[in-house]
Structure 1
Amino acid sequence: MKISDIATLPTKYGIFKIQSFKENDKEHLAIFTEKLPEIPYIRIHSECLTGDALGSLKCDCGDQLAFALKTINEHGGIVLYLRQEGRGIGLFNKVNAYALQDKGLDTVEANHQLGFEADMRDFSIVEKILKHFGIKQIKLLTNNPKKEFAFKNIKVVERIPVKVEPNPYNENYLKTKKEKLGHKL
């Protein structure tokens, strides 16, 4: 794993530090507060270009990222921004999944129709990054139980729900996340 230098990242949520981690062909980010508490708040956030950058209302990703940055700025911690778009299927396939959703399929059915599992993400890089920071215990900002149990050497001492308001465009998406993916919404 290659690790970049640390830079300052002033944002509308606060002033953070930023560092990049490169493993194979993937480049991930750690966005963190200058002072990390003994048990930091951690958000594992998978890239969502449409939600994070374009403000898509079809998902809750951009709102979850904003919630995490605000919370971490207030309490101290790290947002791990993982480059695994579309639950790991990539941007091209995600747009195809969106087209299938426009025809009535839910997000899981669309992935299956394209030949993918419901969730193709890999969280193994997370422990490596947290080890770099010397972190052994975390307060995890997530609704996804898969993330709660993704660790062998990191103890999740608390799961903090990521609360965002649904809208008419993502109600079915959130229902599918809860019913088919087990998210605690």
Structure 2
Amino acid sequence: MTVKFIESCKLPTPFGIFDMHGFQDEQDPTKEHVVLTMGDIKLDEPVLARVHSECLTGDGLFSLRCDCGAQLQAAMHKISQEGRGVIFYLRQEGRGIGLLNKIRAYHLQDAGADTVEANERLGFGADMRDYRMLRPMLDHFGIRQLRLMTNNPRKVNALTDLGIDVVERMPHETGRNPHNADYLRTKKGKLGHLLDE
């Protein structure tokens, strides 16, 4: 998977001023990824990082069905506190099945399916995300080592398989509420996420 760098700009946010960098998938130009950076990420020491898959419902519409929006905001806050870090915002809505299929999956969840069962009933795997675009992005920035904010050991393994040095997994648990209790239980029980009860 090849992505090309397009352009950078400043992005003022409630958490501080980030630099926003745009990348485009060369095989599918409709896939546009964003990287947010703060501080000097090219230092030799490992950089605080979040690999975040797009979630319009959680990130932009404030849905309480998941913990995605809370995780994104928490990552931005932690990076601003540290003054140095990177967020890879990947266009992989609905664990890779797309927005409309995610809505179909939500409909099945409304009828009692969990997130994994809903995806499988639609003919998808439990998690269809692909992280191969990270390798050229990391190379672009000269990043060698990550301190990764995630609860997902599969994500750590996927990055390690790509030759990315994850020197530390930092627990990133936030956004628990009554509407996402079953969602988080499924994440832990069926997808192996490292979450407290």
Equivalent position of 1:7 in the other structure = 9
Letter in 1 for 2:39: E
Equivalent position of 1:159 in the other structure = 169
Q: CA deviation at 1:72?
A: 1.3
8 Å CA contact 2:71–2:175 kept in 1: the answer is no
Q: Secondary structure at the match of 2:80?
A: helix
Paired residues, what number?
Answer: 185
8 Å CA contact 2:131–2:158 kept in 1: the answer is yes
Q: CA deviation at 1:34?
A: 3.2
- Given the alignment of the two structures, is residue 177 of structure 1 paired with residue 179 of structure 2, yes or no? no
Q: Deviations over 1:107-144 (max 9, x none)?
A: 00000010000000000111211111111111001011
In structure 2, how many angstroms separate the alpha carbons of the residues matched to 1:123 and 1:16?
23
- Given the alignment of the two structures, is residue 34 of structure 1 paired with residue 42 of structure 2, yes or no? no
Within a 5 Å distance, the mapping from 1:1-185 to structure 2 comes to 1-23=3-25, 24-25=27-28, 26-36=31-41, 37=43, 38-75=45-82, 76-151=84-159, 152-185=162-195
Runs of 5+ unmatched residues, structure 2 = none
Q: CA deviation at 1:149?
A: 1.2
Query: Cα RMSD (Å) of the superposition?
Result: 1.0
Letter in 1 for 2:10: T
Letter in 2 for 1:20: G
Q: Deviations over 1:9-37 (max 9, x none)?
A: 00011110000111122110000103225
Please report the TM-score for the alignment, with normalisation by the length of structure 1: 0.97
In structure 2, how many angstroms separate the alpha carbons of the residues matched to 1:165 and 1:134?
32
In structure 2, how many angstroms separate the alpha carbons of the residues matched to 1:40 and 1:53?
26
Letter in 1 for 2:37: F
8 Å CA contact 1:135–1:154 kept in 2: the answer is no
Please report the TM-score for the alignment, with normalisation by the length of structure 2: 0.91
Runs of 5+ unmatched residues, structure 1 = none
Letter in 2 for 1:160: M
8 Å CA contact 1:177–1:183 kept in 2: the answer is yes
Q: CA deviation at 1:170?
A: 0.1
In structure 1, how many angstroms separate the alpha carbons of the residues matched to 2:168 and 2:118?
33
